[in-house]
Structures are given as structure tokens and as C-alpha cells.
Structure 1
Amino acid sequence: MKRKFGILLIVLTVMAAALGETRSYAAHWELSGDVGVHDPTIIKEGSSWYVFSTGPGIQVLRSDDGANFYRVPQIFLNAPSWWKTHVPNQNPMDVWAPDVKSYNGKVWLYYSVSTFGKNVSAIGLASASSVGAGSWKDEGMVLATNGTQDYNAIDPELVIDANGDPWLAFGSFWSGLKLTKLDKNTMKPTGSLYSIARRTINDGAIEAPSITYRNGYYYLFASVDKCCSGVNSTYKIVYGRSKNITGPYVDKNGVSLMNNGGTVLDSGNARWKGPGGQDVYNSNLIVRHAYDAEDGGNPKLLISDLIWDSGGWPSY
């Protein structure tokens, strides 16, 4: 086993060098600097990494080496007027769970505004020619819930399918996680709404979908159980897969994610409590937050390489 791991490490190091990476390749990245985040999403542009996260106007961290992070200006300095129209009781400038991806020559940034504990919410969209260039354009509202629907319009995730078509996954509690196809030009919904995961236990706690395509399967990662309670959080990351982007998604035991299924990827440890709010990048790494028991339960950024076994299932 040690010999196999050594060979794997050499191969990964060579691959990293070929790709111009200077970071030491390890399953869990060693991070430093400002790593305070909640619900992170990550993107690489040139040699720099950018992490967007929940917070005033959407918070942004940058790293020029994949190790040391520092905070750069937030995306929104002022709230677009439509936020208050759809979410009248939103805490001003409090923006949740962004998702950033490059597609069709632009960078797209989905995000949500909401009222805590209620499904009066809206998903918004901003675009830019590149992250580094900035100059984000408000693309307006993507979809909204006003409290009468059985789902919640938060935690958006842009997904590009095997044919290169865009989809939006989203959802939190209520009837679970949803998926809808997007128009390539507007990047807004154009098709039906599909249900892809649901929990009927623990108050229906499932949210933060992240879908990645790999070797003929779509892999759905989600966060389940109790978030946002510091070291008392029971948040954990689960996953399942499907041959079709619209499902059905099943876990390693064949249990449907529409029926409380989900294989646990990460349930935390003695130091890192309640990991979740994850984003999978290019199917080979995952970012998430966890509450640091050694620092008063503050949420911090964790980044790990995903390892895929011979059966096509992920782990760290």
C-alpha cells in the first residue's frame, strides 16, 4: 500500500509540474492567511485561485499559489433594487452561497438572497469577462420563491452537462434539491423543474447541491443535517450518482437520494466540525467550510483533492 501511494504521489507531482502548479500535491491542501468563509465556491484563473463565499455583497478570497489566501473587494457594494422586491425582509447586503464558473467565454456568478428559515428567496446572477477584470454586470433575478412553493430558491449551482448545455441545481429543505435547464444565451431557466434529492428525516435538512460529470456519471454532492451552529453543527457531505443529469441519483448502497439516500463523504473530525456548503471543481477537488473547534467554532475554508476508486466513487 505504501509503495502504491508513493507511486501515486510521484505521478500527481509530475502532473502538477506539467500543469505549472507550484503547490505541493496532497490530499488536503495546507492553507494559510485569511481563510474565513461560509459556503465557498472556487475557480482558477491563470495562476490565481479565487474563492467566493457567503457574506456582505459576496465575499472574495484570492491566492496566487493555492496556499496563502487574502481578502479582496466584495462583488456588490450596493444592493440591486430587485433584491428587496423579491425578498422584502432580507438583511441588507447579506448574500448567500454563491457559485462561480466559466462558460461560453464569460464568468457567471450565481448567488441567493433570502430570509433565514423561510422560503422567501431569490437566486440572482452576475457576469464578467473574467474574475480578474472585475466590472461585474447585474444580470438580474434568475428564479424566486415567495413562500407558496414547496421548495426554496437558494444555493444555486451552475452545471454543464456532457453535451455542453447549462443547467441550474438549487434548493434547501422543503421538498429538497431541484434542477432546471438554462438558456445558453440568458443563462436563465427555460425548461421543466426536476426533483433530484430529498430528505424526510431531520426536518428535511438537505441543501447545497454540487454536480460534476465524470466517466459517464453525474455525481451529486449535497450537505445534510444541521448547519450554522458552530461546533454544535452536525452538517455533513453526502453523494450519489446517476447516468442522467436529471436522475435518479443513488448512493453506493443503491439507495435513492430522493429517499434519504447519500453516502457520507465527510462528517468532520475532532477539530473540523460540520463540514458542508461544498463545491466540486473540475471533478478533482472539493472546497467546503467547517467549524474550527480550535478557534471558537469559526467557519474556515478547507480544500481537498478528490480521489476516485476503481468503482468510480469519490473519497479524500
Structure 2
Amino acid sequence: MILIIIGALSCSEDDTSFTGIPEGEEEEEIEESDFDGPTYSDDYTSMASWAERSSWNLANVHDPSITKDGDYFYMYQTDASYGNAHAGNGHFPYRRSTDLVNWDFQGMAFQNVPSWVKDSLNSLRAQMDPPLDPIENPNYGFWAPEIAEVNGTYRLYYSIVVHNPIIGNDNTEYWTERAFIGLAETNDLSSNQWEDKGMVVNSVPDGRETYTRNGGGDWSGYFKFNAIDPSFIETPNGEQYLIYGSWHSGISLLKLDPTTGKPTELNSLEDYGTRIAGRGDVNNNRWQALEAPEIIYNEETGYYYLFLAYDELSVAYNTRVARSENIKGPYFGIDGGNVTNGAEAFPVLTHPYKFDNQPGWVGISHCTVFKDEALGKWFYSSQGRLPEGVPGINASNAVMMGQVREIYWTADGWPVVAPERYAAVPDEAVTEEDLLGNWEQITLQYEYRTMQTSVDIVLNENHTLGGALSGSWSFDESVQILQINGNDFIIDKAWDWEASPRRTTITYAGISNNGYSIWGKKS
């Protein structure tokens, strides 16, 4: 197990929601610092309306994708907002930032539905056996875009789903209609002027299932690959791939023509890509609870990393990762499980959790992963949702806050997601004295729709452990390596989002021997 530590001590001037010192306890005196971290509230419901969008920062974010153009990071996302504030104002919201901390909402990438979607939908319906009548007014959803830069051109791969049910000749409603992935391009993200390139791929039936269903409990998917959740990668040798898929039959890797950004043809099932990940019995299970694939290549480790979202998105969402030396797989977890063949992916990188003084976060997945070369750091970004039933907030689980977190790499080449959101805390060395005292620790052990809470531990001056842990610890300041019971921790800094007032603190993150992330924070 290799763990990572993040740290320093200071304080901010401002207060925030969901924090505070329990009645009857005095706040520990904290050394002040000139670092000015984020102070905005996690409960943004009072300014969630479209009229107040200039104040959103990272409020109302779902399924983000991030790239950089000039001095700005641009984030594109699903049509989703608290109270559907975005409705009627276009599609695929986007915002930008110079520091990954403070974000300015820019508007919507598209104003209208591309006309090819309806045309393609009805053309495919006409080819079904028996043929189905055209849908004159499709009901659309706009989901999970992917933004990527390719040789100076910015590609926006976007998902449009058709919610209308397939209605058979007996007038019975069956599976909802298919989804489409399209492509638009621009040379300047600040212009928001896109040239639409049309369809890339669509959900395709493979003949194993009809579009009929045997009641509400029949989830044997009609389509082979569900054409949503695109992500893009260009390999070191210049090959380009689209990775997509959700639930039905797993995750597809689709080779692209580098000139067009599309597949060469879509004439046979093989043209829709090759499955590189599944969950459970991949040959017979047509309802696999994984989606939102993202592949990155880390040249320092020589591996491709496949990030996946598991389970339903409102609460249970959790992030897994597997890796391969070949873009086509097979992909293996840290435990050696073959994820391409359906093994559970480990490590677990994010999971519903709660530190003290805040309701916690759930639904933390569907990530984008990227490296900022200027900072020399890797980042993870997704939404997080407040839990269900937070007192004083109507529909609290619909509060979707965009989260950006740093990624660290263990000595054996596995990514670990930081336990606290990124705040650009300055990088400074930590001393052994900084580590002494009380900590909260969370093990992100997988439990469906269950929030993992923290336990209290102590790092004593005599290098023993107290509280919920026993054993010993040591620290090598020259290389900034902490050891707890023989396990290595790498050191950095973080912002204590749960404190009141917020301040810098020390945290640690790592991977246990059984593939669960361990997160800790100095109290």
C-alpha cells in the first residue's frame, strides 16, 4: 500500500456552509497564512437560477470535460442544473478558468439541435424489421460531451439521446430509442463558433435481443453498444480512438480516421468498435453497471489507464481504474483482475464519503482526467452531489458541484485521487512537527449507495499511533516520505473545505492492499 500526504497549516478569513465547531468546544488556534483559498458555499441553491449564472463558479456541473486553449481551461458538460435552470437556453453548458479554481460561466455551446440527428434517427427506424414510422418531434437529451485538441483544432464529441420509446406495431411502448454521438469543430474555443461535422456513431442493435421487453424488470439491453459518454485519445504513434458506452454490453474502443475524427465506415457490427471493458458475465449480461470511460496515457509509467464510472449516478456513483500496456487491452486492475473479461475494476478511486463538519459528497464519478504541462500535474474532475435529505435544502441530492482534484501516482504506477478539492495551495515542504496530532481517516471501501465516514487517528510525538489505529509511523523529511506501519505516504498540500473558516491542512491518500483508496485529513 502506497499512500500520499498533503499538508501545511493556515487559515482563511471567510466562513462557509456545512462547517463549524460543535457547541461547547473551542476552536484550535491556527497559525494565519497569506494564502487566500476558495470561500464559496457548497450549497448554491440560493443562486442556482439562470439569471444568476455569472455567480455559479463550479455550481451546476455534471459530466465535465476539460481542455486548455491559450491561458484558459475550458469545461464542457451535460445539460443538467438544479431546478433545470438551463432549460430553454441552449445545450452543452461551458465555462472557463485560468487556475482551475475560479470558473466563469460562458453560456451554451449549441443553441439548436443539429438537423442530422432527426434525419439519422428516422432513417434507421425505416430500416428496422418491421419498419417503424418516423418520429416528427423527438424528445432529446444532451449528455456528456468530450472536448479534445487535435493539431490546433478543437473537437467536441457530443451525445444526443432520443427519449421517445420504440412503439411496436401493437402500439406497446418498449425500449427508448437510440443515442447518437456527433462531432463539431472549432479553431478558437473563445469564439464559440462551431462547425458541425455530423454523426460519428450511433447505438446499434446486434440481433441478440428484440426491442420488446417482458415487463419493467427486463433490462436485457436491445443495443450492443450504447452511443453515449464519448472520450478521445491519440496514442504516441498517432492513432486516434473514441471510447464510449454505457451499461448495455460494456465499453467500446473505436478506431478513428485522424483526418475526419470519425470511423472509416459503419457497415457491420465490427465497425462499431471492440469491447475493452465489461462488468460481470460480459457474454450474457446485457445490463452492465459501468459507463463514462476515459483513457489516458502516462508516458512516465508506460501504461494506458482506463477510468470507469460504476453504478447509478445520483448516489452510488464511484470511480474505478484499470491499466494496460496496449490501448486495445486487455485492461487489468491492481489485483490482477481482467476487466476486459468482466472482473471488477480496482482500485476504487472515488466513492460516497463524509469528513466531519460537512454533509459529505455522493455521486462522485464520470470523470475527465488531464495533465497540465505548465504545472506538471495530473487532475481529475467530475461532479459531486450532496447526499439525499440534507436539512434545509430542497432536493439536496440535485445539488451538483463541479469538483477538480489533483491526481498523484504511486511508486508502482497507480493513480490516486486527492481527498480534498484542488485550491492551488502553494507547494511547500512539510516538517515532522506538522504531522503530529489528530487526523480523520476514511477507507473508500465499496458499499452500494453507502457513504463511508471517517474515524479518528493520532500521530504521536513518540512515533506511535493512537485512536482507531495502532502501530508506528516515521517521516523522512529529506525526501518528504511518511511511513505508517511500513507503508509509504507522499507529501503535498491541500485546502480544508470542511473547516470553518476554511484553511490549509495536511491530508493523505493512497491505495490499500485490497484496492480501496484511503483518505486522511489532519483535524
TM-score bracket for this pair, using the shorter chain length? 0.7 to 0.9
Query: Equivalent residue for 2:304?
Result: 218
* Per-residue Cα deviation, 1:13-34 (whole angstroms, up to 9, x for no partner): xxxxxxxxxxx8x9xx987752
Structure 1: distance between partners of 2:353 and 2:3: 24
The equivalent position to 2:404 in structure 1, one of 303, 306, 309, is 303
Q: CA RMSD in A?
A: 2.8
Q: Is the radius of gyration larger for structure 1 or structure 2?
A: 2
Query: Equivalent residue for 2:61?
Result: 37
Structure 1 unaligned regions, length at least 5: 8-23
* Per-residue Cα deviation, 1:75-122 (whole angstroms, up to 9, x for no partner): 111111112234457534x31100001012200000111135746111
Structure 2: distance between partners of 1:261 and 1:121: 26
Q: By percentage of residues, which structure has more strand? A: 1
Structure 2: distance between partners of 1:30 and 1:43: 25
Query: Equivalent residue for 1:109?
Result: 156
Query: Equivalent residue for 2:46?
Result: none
Structure 2: distance between partners of 1:122 and 1:200: 26
Structure 2: distance between partners of 1:30 and 1:168: 38
Structure 2: distance between partners of 1:190 and 1:49: 31
Q: SS in structure 1 opposite 2:225? A: coil
Q: Mapping of 1:278-297 within 5 angstroms?
A: 278-282=367-371, 284-293=378-387, 296-297=396-397
Q: SS in structure 1 opposite 2:264? A: strand
Structure 1: distance between partners of 2:40 and 2:297: 27
Q: Would the alpha carbon gap of residues 216 and 290 (structure 1) be closer, same or farther in structure 2, given more than 3 Å must change? A: same
Aligned-pair identity (%)? 33
Q: Would the alpha carbon gap of residues 200 and 31 (structure 1) be closer, same or farther in structure 2, given more than 3 Å must change? A: farther
Q: Would the alpha carbon gap of residues 142 and 212 (structure 1) be closer, same or farther in structure 2, given more than 3 Å must change? A: same
The equivalent position to 1:242 in structure 2, one of 324, 327, 349, is 324
Contact 1:86 1:121 in 2 (8 A): no
Alpha-carbon distance, 1:272 to partner? 1.0
1:132 equivalent to 2:190? Answer yes
Structure 2: distance between partners of 1:166 and 1:3: 33
Structure 1: distance between partners of 2:263 and 2:363: 32
The residue identity in structure 2 corresponding to 1:199 is: R
Q: Mapping of 1:55-74 within 5 angstroms?
A: 55=79, 56-74=90-108
Alpha-carbon distance, 1:158 to partner? 0.8
Q: SS in structure 2 opposite 1:234? A: coil
Contact 2:100 2:404 in 1 (8 A): no
Query: Equivalent residue for 2:343?
Result: 260
Query: Equivalent residue for 1:269?
Result: 353
TM-score (norm 2): 0.52
Alpha-carbon distance, 1:199 to partner? 1.3
The residue identity in structure 2 corresponding to 1:252 is: I
Structure 2: distance between partners of 1:139 and 1:311: 42
Q: Would the alpha carbon gap of residues 132 and 171 (structure 1) be closer, same or farther in structure 2, given more than 3 Å must change? A: same
Q: SS in structure 2 opposite 1:127? A: strand
Query: Equivalent residue for 1:16?
Result: none
The residue identity in structure 2 corresponding to 1:304 is: R
Contact 2:4 2:408 in 1 (8 A): no
Structure 2 unaligned regions, length at least 5: 9-34, 42-54, 80-89, 122-134, 164-174, 207-222, 266-270, 355-359, 372-376, 418-523
Structure 1: distance between partners of 2:4 and 2:297: 30
Contact 1:90 1:114 in 2 (8 A): no
Contact 1:120 1:147 in 2 (8 A): no
Q: SS in structure 2 opposite 1:83? A: helix
Structure 1: distance between partners of 2:316 and 2:94: 26
* Per-residue Cα deviation, 1:120-146 (whole angstroms, up to 9, x for no partner): 111000000021132111010001125
Q: SS in structure 2 opposite 1:78? A: coil
